[in-house]
Amino acid sequence: MKYLIPTRKYWLWWLLCGAIVLNFAFLNSYPIYILDEAKNAEAAREMLSSGNFLVPFFNGELRTDKPPLHYYFMILGYKLFGVTALGARFFSALMGFLTLGITYLFTRRFESQLAALYTVLVLLASFFFMQEFHLAVPDPYLICFVVLGLFNFYAFYQTRKKKYALWAYISLGLATLAKGPVAIALSGLSIGLFLILKGKSKQAFQYYPILGLIGILAVCTPWFYGVHLATEGAWTQGFFLDHNISRFAETKEGHGGLFLVTWAFVFLGLFPFVVFLPQALRWSLRKSRAPLFQYAGIIGLVFVLFFSISETKLPNYTMPSYPFLALCLGGYFAFGVQNGFQKWDRVSLIVGIVVAQLFPIGGFAALQQDPRFENMVWLSGGLVPLAVGSLIAGVFFWKKNYRKWLIIQAVSGVLTALLLFSWIYPTINLQSPVLAVEQKIPKYANLIVYKSMDAAFPLHFKKVLKISPDMESLIARLEQSSCTFILTNTKQVDSIEQLDGIQLVVEKQALFENHITRLYRLENCPTHLK
């Protein structure tokens, strides 16, 4: 029975179990559908199918969004688990588990076990952050290798052991292969500012910056050069100009917003403990504070401020800094548990409790507003543990029983994450137009795409779907085909419905998008399935 009591002695085992469950459970409980997941997972599938492991394609077209590291891990996942959601997401989950482990081990070594435990507790409770490791996207790999690289650099700073420098630069090279030069730029800026803060700027060359840059380039340059040659510069231009410089200089795909939008993303990403972040950062950056907390605070601010001034803003951009922001929070909580919190920390607590109550209310309102989900408003009950847990935890904080406050608040976040992965997301995905289309198409049917489609369809059908860009090309393909279905998500349907012998079979709005997927059947194709 004593092992069921989360005393400090057994915290590590509870956190280990929590890390395993949160990262690896329910990876296959709902299909890959959202845009980024679908495109990344399909690009990896096409690499595997074609045997071309150099140039990424999506639905037969050059994909320049990201470097290939996540594709390679997904391919390995497909080899292990088949072309499934589990195969695409497994190594993302592993990156999440490793990120937690790396953060714990380095914090314990260079600060304290208590700060390490609280830091991991903060991350486990941050259900939107943990959600990222349930996605087939490059960000889990970027997060893991940036964290590994920056912690190893700190270890080198403290010990001067060259092995840490080697691991730091190799890791940052892999981070660059995950998402590009932003890994080098922001990591280098963070390290530089930290050395200035510590009065070490004149000794900067003692940390082998030139050799480090050479090491980073040695890891990532061969692929960048190879894909440049193979595509005659097309991939290089698309990636560096369109997906890096342009994303910083101008709003892409409608993902813009004011300076504070990025901070709002951080607030959601590290909720519920994020309400203490302002004072945790202030506490961490004091000159009297341990260097590790100063280092973590600088990294967090560099990443968040950089993407605050970027014209394109997305929730995942700042996530590599979350383990370091969590370290600031973990250190602050360790100090508070031992020395007491300030009276104004209660203001943060009240803000957190109020916001937590808004989650199920907001979920209920959002589901009720969408006709597809108005009969599923009960899904908002999955957010109730967060609201109730915050209230109960707040009582213990008020009574100065800070340890129980931390445990109960964290458990509420973990339960919320598990309900999202196991119940809410799978139920919502039942409304996916991909599933509706699959139920109506016979296995022997010929599927033609007109103008555009949901990105999830190629992965779902495990093949490249040729797109007819206009009515002329569509008619030409129809004349050569038998048992034909036409798939489209165009807003203008008048032209296609003028075709002879055509019947609308499926009309369903996309999840998380405004367009409507439509499936048409020609008269020459029977309705029954075989």
Q: Number of H helices and number of E strands within the chain?
A: 24, 7
User: Can you give the pLDDT at residue 312?
Assistant: 80
CB 146 within 8 A of CB 173: no
pTM of the model: 0.95
User: Can you give the pLDDT at residue 47?
Assistant: 98
444 Ramachandran zone, left/alpha/beta (phi>0; psi -120 to 50): alpha
Q: Report cis status (omega within 30 of 0) of the bond before 272.
A: yes
- Cross-strand bridge partners of residue 484: 446
pLDDT tier at 88 (50, 70, 90 boundaries)? very high
d(CA 256, CA 479): 45
Residue 527 has pLDDT above 70, yes or no: no
Residue 497 has pLDDT above 60, yes or no: yes
User: Can you give the pLDDT at residue 205?
Assistant: 83
d(CA 456, CA 466): 14
- Cross-strand bridge partners of residue 62: 57
Q: What is the domain partition of the chain in residue ranges?
A: 2-58+65-246, 433-522
Residue 355 has pLDDT above 60, yes or no: yes
The dihedral built from the CA positions of residue 54, 57, 60 and 62, taken in this order, carries a sign that is negative
Lowest mean pLDDT segment, chosen from 27-36, 162-171, 468-477? 468-477
CATH number for the domain running over 433-522: 3.40.190
pLDDT tier at 530 (50, 70, 90 boundaries)? very low
The crossing angle, in degrees rounded to 10, of helices 291-309 and 139-159 is 140
More confident residue, 475 or 103: 103
pLDDT tier at 148 (50, 70, 90 boundaries)? very high
Q: Distances from the Cα of 171 to the Cαs of 147, 148, 151, 155, in angstroms?
A: 9, 6, 10, 14
Residue 273 has pLDDT above 50, yes or no: yes
CB 464 within 8 A of CB 442: no
